[in-house]
Chain A
């Protein structure tokens, strides 16, 4: 698996070379042979938040209030207070977020094994399909056809669904509501079960406001990605950006949430390490 991280011509890791490996990584980062791609939306008040029916409890949108800015409130310094929900902006879903994962061990943001927070990413490009159909559902067949080109999804990889939804900078288009609710792409139930049970993925990431499709309450079970992923102790990432800058395979994801005690998730900065020579279109096999 590690081979996928390095470009051709890099010195392969030796068995005793953990330290060397990191030195080499630092070198590759310094020379730009490994690029760092930011997959995070900027936290700003106008970025839309998930909306539930109004009688239900609501997740806070991001809000920010100035404490002082070199003024009478604090002459030499500038700082803000901000507020948001655990599921605001680009954010991480822990297994405890969903009722199916509530009794699992190490299921909250403070107890998740830290080694789970760095992993390889497989990027499935559904951008054309999502452009044609906002309610596009990623199926098992679609994933298998992707694997026939890019190789089998390795265990403990993140699967990221690229839809280019993050390019919808108008909040109305991003949320894409009509009278029947939200219309955004996501996986169907069978695809999620396939990823969890037959590919042992560590999590699923999306560009829209949920890992599930906008109309996922009508699927069986409702919200299958939340239900199966979190029920199996896997994670979710949503509101990702810049997935079009990632290769189909070979990028490494760094996505640690804030260490909130018993937290169900958290806004976070998601970074991808991308080896040069692996273009978004070319890809390489991770299998």
Chain B
């Protein structure tokens, strides 16, 4: 049984901070289908539309009937562990540093037999297990087998932790604590066991409800941070950048205008200044420190979370300039993801539908509550997914967008 994670001892400062290594990251274009699903927290395999066979590994044609009519389909992952082995030697740098490593072979109920990374709580073969696709530190999907039923401290399995970004015992920066969402995120991280949550506050003279309650939490530390001010971002990075394990960029400006109902560009510029340039400033200041500490012991830097919006995918004209700023942020987050990948630091994007906040006052429900969104964020870190679409609206729009982006564009235009 997995032992509960205990707070690791402080690091020995005379020892060098090691450089991050990555598991093999090369994949064929077809195999990236597995990654695309895993990024959303889904386990999908190819099914042949002619002979109905499910296959693994992903290839261009059906390995049974050679049909090219293949479709990615969600799988339950249930199967039988046929054999297990312990890897004791590897010339691959990533695994070499993590030996011994548990591997297994599972015959999935849906057909194929697959090689998996094995959770330490799986019983001896033969035994029932549940296989899931998880992103590794290279950002690529691999198969990971869990015990069929929940075990105590399951998330603390050392091998599983190589795939997740659990905030437990970690130190987190939340960039804006003035909103109910920022406060809910900080609370959720504290509940998830974060050691320390720095919460940014811009324009400290403006009094917002809830900040005092936040300040009263012993794990929370309010720090000055204004994403429109490069000097402020640099200053904070200089003070705490070398200590932050997870950055949560939730600062945003949201105004409800299209092109024609607001004269001039000042409101749109403010949205861009926070939602896009703010991310750029933050990434330039905190990115290097995170990358440098990605292999800093069992609690190294692991993740970067961006609050985007479902409107980043397709413009919602009544909130048109906001949508555009979030689309810009989405694009930049892809650049950030590429730049963080060599260190294995995961970039997680949240794409909520309308949040139940001040600026969506006149938007009809359903709206995602700050508390639900905050829990989705923490859950994403614990499971290690990249793209999160929390709430019913976001889920529905995601499916519509994947199905036909042009149709969604027309639907959103009303």
Q: Does A57 contact B (CB under 8 A)?
A: yes
Residues on B with C-beta less than 8 A from A64 are 230-231
Task: Point out the residues of chain A lying under 8 angstroms from B228, CB to CB.
Answer: 61, 63
Interface string of B196-218 (1 = CB under 8 A from A): 00000001111100000000000
Known A57-B267, A58-B266, A58-B270: A172·B232 in contact at CB below 8 Å? no
B226 within 8 A of A: yes
Known: A57-B266, A57-B267, A58-B266. A65 touches B230 (CB 8 A): yes
Which single residue of chain A is at the shortest CB-CB distance from B266? A57
**A171 close to chain B: CB less than 8 A:** yes
Cα–Cα, bound, A51→B229 (Å) = 16
- Cα A119 to Cα B238 in complex, Å, equals 46
Q: How far is the CA of A172 from the CA of B202 in the complex (A)?
A: 11
Give a binary string over A171-186; 1 marks a CB under 8 Å from any B CB, 0 the rest.
1101111110000000
**Complex Cα distance A172/B203, Å?**
8
Q: How far is the CB of A81 from chain B (nearest CB, A)?
A: 11
Give every chain A residue within 8 A of B226 (Cβ-Cβ). 45
B237, chain A: closest CB distance, angstroms:
15
What residues on B are CB-neighbors of A176 within 8 Å? 205
Closest to A175 in B: B205
Query: Interface on chain B toward A: helix, strand, loop, or mixed SS?
Result: loop
Given the known inter-chain contacts A57-B266, A57-B267, A58-B266, please indicate yes or no for A46 contacting B207, CB distance below 8 A.
no
Residues of B250-269 contacting chain A, CB below 8 A: 255, 264, 266-267
Instruction: Name the residue of chain B whose CB is nearest to the CB of A182.
Output: B205
Q: Which residues of A are found within 8 Å of B206, using beta-carbon distances?
A: 51, 177
Contact A45 B232 (CB under 8 A): yes
The reply to whether the CB of A151 lies closer than 8 angstroms to some CB of chain B is no
User: Cβ of A48 < 8 Å from any Cβ of B?
Assistant: yes
**Which B residues are CB-close (under 8 A) to A172?**
204-205
Q: A57-B266, A58-B270 are in contact. Are A63 and B229 (CB under 8 A)?
A: yes
B229, A177: Cβ atoms under 8 Å?
Answer: no
Closest to A45 in B: B229
Enumerate chain B residues within 8 angstroms of A45, measured Cβ to Cβ: 226, 229, 231-232
Residue of B nearest to A62 (CB): B229
Q: A46-B232, A64-B231, A65-B230 in contact; A51/B203 too (CB < 8 A)?
A: yes
Within 8 Å CB of A46, what residues of B?
A: 224, 229, 232
Contacts of A178 in B (CB 8 A): 207
How many B residues face the partner with a CB closer than 8 A? 17
* B232 to A, closest residue via Cβ: A45
Among A58, A63, A171, A179, point to the contact of B205 (Cβ < 8 A): A171
* Cα(A8)–Cα(B206), bound, Å: 50
Complex CA distance for A214 and B72, rounded to whole angstroms: 63
| Contacts of B127-159 to chain A: CB distance below 8 A | none
Closest to B255 in A: A55
Name A55-77 residues within 8 Å CB distance of B: 55, 57-58, 61, 63-65
A59 to chain B, nearest CB (A): 10
Minimum CB distance partner of B202 in chain A: A61
A179 near B207: Cβ-Cβ < 8 Å: yes
Closest to B273 in A: A63
Q: How far apart are the CA atoms of A255 and B190 in the complex, in Å?
A: 53
Q: How far is the CA of A46 from the CA of B231 in the complex (A)?
A: 9
Neighbouring B residues of A58 by C-beta, 8 Å = 266, 270
B266 and A48 form a contact (CB under 8 A):
no
Instruction: Report if A177-B266 is in contact (Cβ < 8 Å); known contacts: A45-B229, A46-B232.
Output: no
Cα(A55)–Cα(B358), bound, Å:
11
In whole angstroms, how far apart are the Cα atoms of A61 and B202 in the complex? Answer: 12
B409: min CB distance to chain A, Å: 28
Whether the Cβ atoms of B205 and A174 lie closer than 8 Å is yes
Binary contact track A156-175/B, C-beta < 8 Å → 1, others 0: 00000000000000011011
The docked-state distance in angstroms from the alpha carbon of A172 to that of B204 is: 6
A48 near B229 with CB under 8 A, answer: no
Q: Which chain B residue has the least Cβ–Cβ distance from A171?
A: B205
Which residues of the partner chain B approach A171 to less than 8 Å between Cβ atoms?
204-205
Q: For residues 266 through 286 of chain B, which have their beta carbon under 8 Å from a beta carbon of chain A? A: 266-267, 270
- CB–CB B205/A177 < 8 A: yes
Assembly CA distance A55 to B270 (angstroms): 12
Once bound together, how far apart are the Cα atoms of A179 and B206, in whole Å? Answer: 9
Q: Does B207 lie within 8 Å of A177, measured CB to CB?
A: yes
What is the distance, in angstroms, from B137's C-beta to the closest C-beta of chain A? 32
Question: How many whole Å from B143's CB to the nearest CB in chain A?
Answer: 46
- Give the residues in chain B near A65, CB-CB below 8 Å: 230
What is the bound-complex CA distance between A174 and B224, given in angstroms?
16
Rounded to whole angstroms, the CA-CA distance of A175 and B230 in the bound complex is 22
How far is it, in angstroms, between the C-alpha of A131 and the C-alpha of B392 when the chains are bound?
54
CA A45 to CA B267, docked complex, whole Å: 19
Known: A45-B226, A48-B203. 5 other contacts (CB 8 A): A45-B229, A46-B224, A177-B205, A177-B206, A178-B207
A–B Cβ pairs within 8 angstroms, 14 of them:
A45-B229, A46-B224, A46-B229, A46-B232, A51-B205, A51-B206, A55-B255, A58-B266, A63-B228, A63-B230, A65-B230, A171-B205, A174-B205, A177-B205
7 shortest interchain CB distances as A-B pairs:
A175-B205, A45-B229, A172-B205, A177-B205, A172-B204, A45-B231, A57-B266
